[in-house]
Every structure is written in C-alpha cells, then in structure tokens.
Structure 1
Amino acid sequence: MAKKKKVSPLAKALLETAGDMRKAGLMDKATHEKITLRHLGATGAPKALPITGPQIRAMRERAQLSQAVFARYLNLTVGYVSQLERGAKQPTGAALALLNVIKRKGIDAIL
C-alpha cells in the first residue's frame, strides 16, 4: 500500500495553475500528467461530491446563518444560494468545493 501524500496549499495552487495551462493549450498532456502524478499520486485530485438543496440548507441553519451571510462567506449571490437550497440549481466548481469543505469540517473551516 502506497503512503498517501499530504498536498500543501501551495502545491494545490500550482496544480490548479498547471491544469489551467493544460486547458489553454500551453502545456502538453504528458507534462501535465507528470506533474499531477508527482504531487497527487496515481489517484489524482479528490472529487467533490454532489450536495442536495436540503443538505445546503441544513449546513446553513446548523451554522445559524442567514442566506445573505452564507452567500457572502461563499462569495455567491443570495439568489443563487436560494436556488441551490430549493434544488433549482446544482452547485459546481468552487462553490461545490467550498460546500464540501463546510459539510466535512463545518463553517469555521472557511472563516
């Protein structure tokens, strides 16, 4: 069994930049895979799990925050948070990643 590496915040930022460079065509696939494998191992980056509207609302209420304050902490609009909680929209990208962090570690993890 391989030992799991802990990835530093700097390494995560560099990997994200490398990913953007790959998408923009500034870095070839082989180079990008070499960087990723070196830092994250063969499994790659962890995937953000989908979160439902009721789960988002429960997280917000557990933190005793209004939709406006919750939206501000996540750098989202109040309308978008409302749509997420109603299930009209599904969170993606950075919002989904932050919601997964809050789900695992609580609101204090992003404050």
Structure 2
Amino acid sequence: MNQPDPINSILRALADPTRRAVFERIARSDEISVSQLTIGSGVTKGAVSQHLKTLKLAGLVNERPDGRNVYYRVEPEGLASLADWMSHYDTFWRQRFTHLRDILKEINP
C-alpha cells in the first residue's frame, strides 16, 4: 500500500487559511489548549478540533492530554521534509536575486 507523501500532507494542511492561523498561534505558544485556540478565532471549538486533527495527521503538531483539556504544541520536525524539498530550489532563488540586484544597479547606479 502506498504511503501518503508527507510534503503533500503538509501543504494540504497549511493551504487552509484558518488552519494556518491555528498553526501559527500554536507556534507562538509553548502549549495551548483547544479552548484557548477557540477564543478570538471566529470558529467553533469543533471546527478548531477538526483543524487540529488535520495538523496532527500531517505531523505538524503534538497533543498532550491533561484531564479534560488537551494541549497542543508544534512538532519541531514537522516541517523538515518541506524544508528539504524547498532547499532544492535555493540555487534558483539565489540566481534570481542576483539578477534582480544587477537590474536594480542598472536602473539606479
């Protein structure tokens, strides 16, 4: 059976703006509960829970149950495969920025 590509899972998880905002709030915290994530998010607790499930399945967050609460934190290695994939394009971008620098020098010597 084929395993899902981790890069595709990460990109799908982060493609949704609400889910990306949830991920960013978690990244700015050591740990945060579903209730805390719901406050000021503009979505229901159930919707936040669904977004967290997707982030967890993509390997981007971990959970820690504590009584009736569940706390979430970013999984440090969660973005590693995406960062590795993007590093293949590093040379492309460096060349583009070098060309841009040259053009800007021509425009404004």
Q: TM-score, normalised by structure 1?
A: 0.31
Q: Which has the larger radius of gyration?
A: 2
Question: RCO (CA 8 Å, sep 6+): is it higher in 1 or 2?
Answer: 2
Of Structure 1 and Structure 2, the greater strand share is in 2
